[in-house]
């Protein structure tokens, strides 16, 4: 009986939305340049706000490499630790806190990503959303520039809209 | 079906009922493959478990409705009972402007004893009468983040008295209310309302919010004419602090409230006399609560909660001082891929001092009781994303009836992402209240003699050994998302109540001063059978227009035991058979909002307070966003008639009141 269930589980291993979002986040880091005076070969720290961000899928990025840097993941980040992060993912849970958090990282070289609706209009850099059962993203280039982050033109080409 | 996002998410920082009922599936294994894809490839991946996270409600094997802060604001509700009308299957019958009979699935009364109500995990169900005194809840609606309403037994998790439902009121996190907010309202019934709140962040990891509230309500109309006695004033002040820790978070909150509720009580005494006493019920209460949550990641979460509460109740019928201390520990842990175990321990100590009145007498002036509890629930994934089984039980020990066990079995089937069906089998128990163990009250007084007896007489309800009331419940539910804008929720249930409280008259005893005393002998001999259907439809017709409809059909048959001189059960015919609600929320451009809410409640034929005719009411709200941070609104309530009755009083009788048409103007300012 147990075998039967496991066999089914394997065939039904659909790609979860949260898993795909985690993969998007890893890819975004590959298209981003952090300011030269920042930490160079240190691990790339991806932080998340919200206790169960992407239902554990973000942790799967731990140990991967992006731009030659080892990826580290820190879940449930405290606002006082935000300056240590290179990437900040804000979970949909944290929607009421979005503006408050964005104000805190506005001048820091932190790439902000979220699946909260209208994230780029609230001042976030990359907003993920779903369209026709596929994931898409919007970019707020002005916000990235303000934080001295350079986003590759290849990334901008794939975005639905780019806010200048 | 619900607003997407946090409104229905089980947020880890609260005892959210959804967090216990539904655990979002996670498939980290599947993520590993997609991590190797590049951006272009990722953009072509079809996401099969679409919006799994925001559909938590669809994954819940229970009849759950979440009332959001937005729903409350747009409804024009001015107090918590009015806001509860937003959920399907909830009966909220106003007994006047300061008393309500709030219930789910029948057994309604001002002291409806089968409904458990929590505020941020703190029980506000009074052990004195078994019930909730809604007029004493100071908590401002502006602080409510959401209200989770679960219909049907939740006793396997929340414990005894969560028989017909659980209402969990969750207040806003101080992180969500940074800055200042001022609200003021005034109108015909709501004479005045003022609310101020300030939230700030002393350091990046900490947020604090403090608030104060004043609420002043006019008296309603007495049935048959004249001003009622049910005016109502409330004062409330409180704070909430939240600190994010390395792993987890810490919350401390506290508050003090005072309520003054006018009342005209029918006092009955021995020797037989009957008189009306106009008195203001004065209640002060305060609480302090701390909560710690630990464990990051998805594997394990711990929480520890402690609260202290003290209340002082003064009325013509009784005076009570009570102090309660409560301690709870809870852990949620994943065991392998298939099991998600939640278990917890609890202890509650409550001590009181009661002053009897001519109407109600208690045998012991002081009493202290302890309640111990242990619960466990395992969520078993039988087949990922298809079949889930939840097995749980709660064991409690109380000082009156000893050990009580309340099991629950739930099965959830999700054949597609649009459809889910569930079934639940549960047993729940209501344990006796303080007054049911060593209390007596006069039910009838005939100073001039009852036609049945020639002499003057008095009927005294003596309650000494009421035991547990028990429910065996079978619930079925079905949810379907027809398309992106429309969803349906259907629930059917069959309930069997046994050992319901009852009383039998004893032989009249001639008293030396020349009247007859008829005492009752209490028992648990009554029974009830109940079945019903609840249906909800949510349709977002356009991006600016939303329609929500609820319908409830309820048949309750209370069977008074066939014993000599058994009195008709006081649970008989307390609820309407039909309840219907239709709400329209329309956005007119970017700065105007127009809401309309139609409700129909069918007639109630109660053996004690008589017939309440069916009624239909309409509430409307027009709001204008004058500028950023400032909203002005005009609300009309009960617009279809000048006045109508909604309910009567059963056990403690106040003079019957009718609900009036009302209008108020409100301003909300944030800066």
Cβ under 8 Å to B: A residues 76-115: 76, 78-80, 82, 92-97, 100, 104
**Where would I find the beta strands (DSSP E) of chain A?**
32-33, 44-49, 65-66, 69-74, 87-90, 111-114, 126-131, 134-140, 150-151, 162-163
Q: Which of A56, A96, A116 sits opposite B26 (nearest CB)?
A: A56
- Helix or strand holding residue B255 (H, E): strand B249-269
Q: Do B39 and A27 touch (CB under 8 A)?
A: yes
Contact present, B550 and B90 (Cβ < 8 Å):
no
**Which residues face B390 on adjacent strands?**
B379, B410
- In whole angstroms, give the CA distance from residue B626 to residue B603: 42
pLDDT at B285 over 70: yes
Q: Do A79 and B244 touch (CB under 8 A)?
A: yes
CATH number at residue B361: 2.40.170.20
**pLDDT digit string (tens) for B20-77?**
444 333 333 333 456 777 777 777 766 543 332 333 555 778 888 889 899 999 999 9
Quote the tokens at residue B582.
Answer: 């239709």
User: Mapping DSSP to helix (H, G, I), strand (E, B) and coil, where does residue A126 land?
Assistant: strand
Q: Do A104 and B34 touch (CB under 8 A)?
A: no
Q: Do B296 and A95 touch (CB under 8 A)?
A: no
- In whole angstroms, give the CA distance from residue A29 to residue A126: 11
Give the number of residues written for chain A: 164
Contact present, B100 and B81 (Cβ < 8 Å):
yes
Chain B CB within 8 Å of residue A155 CB: yes
Cα dihedral angle (B63, B68, B73, B77), rounded to 10 degrees? Answer: 30
Cis preceding-peptide flag for B464 (omega within 30 of 0): no
Mean pLDDT score of chain B, rounded to an integer? 88
Q: Which of A12, A55, A93 sits opposite B11 (nearest CB)?
A: A93
More confident residue, B1 or B580: B580
Residues of chain B in contact with residue A155, where contact means CB-CB under 8 angstroms, are 39
Quote the tokens at residue B540.
Answer: 């977002």
**Residue with token string 């944030």:** B670
Q: Which of A17, A93, A158 sits opposite B50 (nearest CB)?
A: A17
Give exposure, B72-98, as e/b (b: 16+ Cβ within 10 Å): bbbbbbbbbbbbbbbbbbbbbbbbbbb
**pLDDT digit string (tens) for B129-172?**
889 999 999 899 999 988 989 999 988 888 888 999 999 999 99
Give residue A92's pLDDT. Answer: 81
More confident residue, B311 or B652: B311
Residues of chain A in contact with residue B38, where contact means CB-CB under 8 angstroms, are 27
Band (pLDDT 50/70/90 cuts) for residue A52 is low
B106 in a structural domain: yes
- In whole angstroms, give the CA distance from residue B355 to residue B434: 13
Residue B225: burial class (beta carbons within 10 Å; 0-12, 13-18, 19+)? exposed
**CATH architecture of the domain formed by A18-163:** 3-Layer(aba) Sandwich (3.40)
Residues of chain A in contact with residue B32, where contact means CB-CB under 8 angstroms, are 60
Chain B CB within 8 Å of residue A22 CB: yes
Backbone angles phi, psi at B128, to 5 degrees: -70, -60
Give residue B387's pLDDT. Answer: 93
Contact present, B660 and B115 (Cβ < 8 Å):
no
Question: How close does chain B come to A14, measured CA to CA in Å?
Answer: 7
Quote the tokens at residue B609.
Answer: 């307070």
Total domains present in chain B: 1
B3 in a structural domain: no
In the DSSP assignment, the letter for residue B566 is B
CB atoms within 10 A of CB B630: 14
C-alpha closest to that of B86 among B28, B147, B43, B151: B147
- In whole angstroms, give the CA distance from residue B328 to residue B635: 41
Q: Which of A9, A15, A95 sits opposite B47 (nearest CB)?
A: A15
DSSP-derived pairing of the beta strands B592-601 and B486-505: unpaired
What are the DSSP calls for B265-287, one per residue? EEEEETTTEEEEEEEEEEEEEEE
DSSP-derived pairing of the beta strands B165-171 and B115-119: parallel
Q: Which of A19, A135, A158 sits opposite B30 (nearest CB)?
A: A19
**Residue with token string 């309202």:** B185
> What is the count of residue pairs from A and B with beta carbons less than 8 Å apart?
164
Q: Do A51 and B296 touch (CB under 8 A)?
A: yes
Q: What is the pTM of this model?
A: 0.82
- In whole angstroms, give the CA distance from residue B630 to residue B642: 32
Mutate to test the interface with B, among A12, A23, A158 (most CBs of B within 10 A): A23
**pLDDT digit string (tens) for B362-416?**
999 999 999 999 999 999 999 988 899 999 999 999 999 999 999 999 999 988 8
Residues of chain A in contact with residue B27, where contact means CB-CB under 8 angstroms, are 13-14, 16, 19
pLDDT at B202 over 80: yes
**Residue with token string 């006047």:** B96
Task: Report the percent of chain B where pLDDT is more than 70.
Answer: 92
Q: How far is CA B315 from CA B231, B263, B278, B360, B528, in A?
A: 15, 9, 10, 11, 33
- In whole angstroms, give the CA distance from residue B346 to residue B330: 9
Question: How close does chain A come to B333, measured CA to CA in Å?
Answer: 14
Domain of B267, in residue numbers: 17-30+49-670
* B19, closest residue in chain A (CA to CA): A52
Quote the tokens at residue B166.
Answer: 């659980």
More confident residue, A16 or B421: B421
Quote the tokens at residue B638.
Answer: 């009960």
Mutate to test the interface with A, among B30, B51, B333 (most CBs of A within 10 A): B30
In the DSSP assignment, the letter for residue B126 is B
Structural domain spans, chain A: 18-163
Residue A162: burial class (beta carbons within 10 Å; 0-12, 13-18, 19+)? middle
Give residue A40's pLDDT. Answer: 60
């Amino acid at each position: 009986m147990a075998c039967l269930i496991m066999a089914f589980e394997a065939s039904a291993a659909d790609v979860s939305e949260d898993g795909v979002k985690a993969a998007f986040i890893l890819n975004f880091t590959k298209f981003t340049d952090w300011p030269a005076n920042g930490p160079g070969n240190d691990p790339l720290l991806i932080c998340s706000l919200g206790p169960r961000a992407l239902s554990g899928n973000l942790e799967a990025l731990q140990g991967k490499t992006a731009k030659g840097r080892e990826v580290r993941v820190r879940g449930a980040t405290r606002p006082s630790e935000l300056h240590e992060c290179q990437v900040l993912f804000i979970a949909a849970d944290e929607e009421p806190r979005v503006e408050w958090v964005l104000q805190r990282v506005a001048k820091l070289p932190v790439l902000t990503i979220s699946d909260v609706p209208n994230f780029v209009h609230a001042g976030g850099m990359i907003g993920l959303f779903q369209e026709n059962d596929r994931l898409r993203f919007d970019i707020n280039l002005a916000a990235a520039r303000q934080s001295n982050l350079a986003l590759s033109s290849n990334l901008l080409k794939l975005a639905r809209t780019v806010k200048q | 079906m619900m607003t997407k996002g946090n409104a229905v998410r089980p947020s880890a920082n609260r005892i959210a009922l959804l967090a216990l009922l539904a655990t979002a599936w996670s498939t980290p294994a599947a993520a590993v493959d997609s991590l190797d894809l590049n951006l272009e490839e990722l953009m072509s991946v079809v996401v099969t478990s679409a919006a799994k996270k925001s559909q938590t409600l669809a994954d819940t094997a229970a009849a759950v409705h979440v009332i959001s802060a937005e729903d409350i604001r747009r409804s024009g509700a001015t107090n918590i009972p009015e806001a509860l009308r937003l959920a399907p299957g909830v009966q909220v019958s106003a007994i006047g402007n300061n008393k309500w009979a709030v219930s789910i699935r029948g057994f309604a009364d001002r002291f409806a004893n089968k409904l458990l109500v929590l505020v941020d995990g703190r029980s506000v169900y009074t052990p004195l009468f078994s019930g909730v005194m809604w007029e004493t809840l100071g908590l401002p609606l502006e602080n409510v983040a959401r209200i989770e309403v679960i219909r049907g037994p939740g006793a396997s998790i929340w414990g005894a008295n969560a028989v017909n439902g659980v209402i969990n009121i969750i207040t806003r996190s101080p992180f969500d209310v940074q800055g200042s907010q001022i609200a003021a309202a005034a109108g015909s019934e709501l004479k005045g309302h003022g609310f101020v709140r300030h939230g700030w962040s002393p350091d990046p990891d900490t947020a604090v919010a403090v608030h104060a509230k004043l609420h002043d309500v006019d008296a309603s109309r007495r049935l048959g004419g004249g001003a009622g006695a049910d005016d109502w004033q409330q004062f409330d002040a409180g704070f909430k602090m939240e600190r994010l820790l390395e792993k987890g978070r810490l919350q401390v909150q506290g508050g003090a409230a005072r309520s003054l509720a006018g009342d005209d009580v029918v006092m009955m005494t021995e020797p037989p006399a009957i008189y009306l006493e106009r008195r203001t019920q004065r209640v002060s209460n305060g609480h302090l609560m701390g909560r710690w949550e630990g464990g990051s990641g998805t594997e394990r979460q711990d929480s520890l909660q402690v609260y202290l509460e003290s209340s002082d109740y003064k009325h013509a019928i009784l005076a009570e001082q009570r102090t309660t201390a409560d301690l709870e520990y809870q852990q949620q842990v994943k065991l392998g891929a298939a099991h998600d175990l939640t278990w917890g321990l609890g202890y509650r100590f409550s001590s009181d001092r009661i002053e009897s009145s001519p109407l109600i007498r208690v045998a012991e002036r002081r009493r202290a009781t302890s309640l111990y509890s242990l619960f466990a629930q395992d969520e078993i994934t039988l087949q990922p994303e298809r079949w889930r089984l939840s097995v749980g039980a709660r064991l409690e020990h109380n000082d009156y009836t000893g050990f009580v066990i309340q099991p629950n079995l739930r099965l959830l089937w999700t054949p597609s992402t649009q459809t889910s069906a569930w079934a639940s089998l549960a047993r729940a128990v209501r344990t006796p209240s303080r007054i049911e163990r060593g209390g007596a009250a006069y039910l009838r007084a005939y100073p001039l003699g009852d036609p049945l007896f020639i002499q003057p007489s008095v009927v005294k309800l003596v309650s000494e050994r009421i035991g547990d009331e028990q429910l065996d419940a079978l619930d079925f539910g079905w949810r379907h998302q027809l398309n992106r804008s429309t969803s349906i929720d259907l629930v059917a249930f069959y309930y069997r109540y046994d050992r319901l409280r009852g009383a039998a008259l004893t032989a009249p005893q001639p008293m030396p001063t020349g009247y007859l005393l008829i005492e009752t002998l209490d028992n648990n001999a009554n029974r009830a059978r109940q079945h019903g259907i609840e249906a909800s439809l949510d349709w977002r017709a356009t991006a600016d227009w939303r329609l929500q409809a609820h319908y409830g059909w309820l048949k309750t048959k209370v069977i008074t035991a066939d014993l000599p001189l058994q009195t008709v059960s006081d649970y008989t015919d307390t609820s309407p058979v039909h309840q219907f609600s239709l709400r329209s929320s329309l956005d007119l451009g970017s700065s105007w909002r127009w809401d309309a809410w139609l409700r129909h409640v069918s007639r109630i034929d109660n053996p004690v307070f008589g017939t309440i005719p069916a009624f239909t009411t309409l509430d409307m709200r027009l709001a204008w966003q004058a500028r950023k941070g400032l909203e002005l609104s005009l609300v009309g309530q009960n617009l279809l008639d000048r006045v109508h009755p909604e309910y009567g009083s059963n056990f403690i009788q106040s003079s019957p009141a009718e609900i009036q048409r009302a209008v108020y103007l409100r301003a909300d300012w944030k800066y």
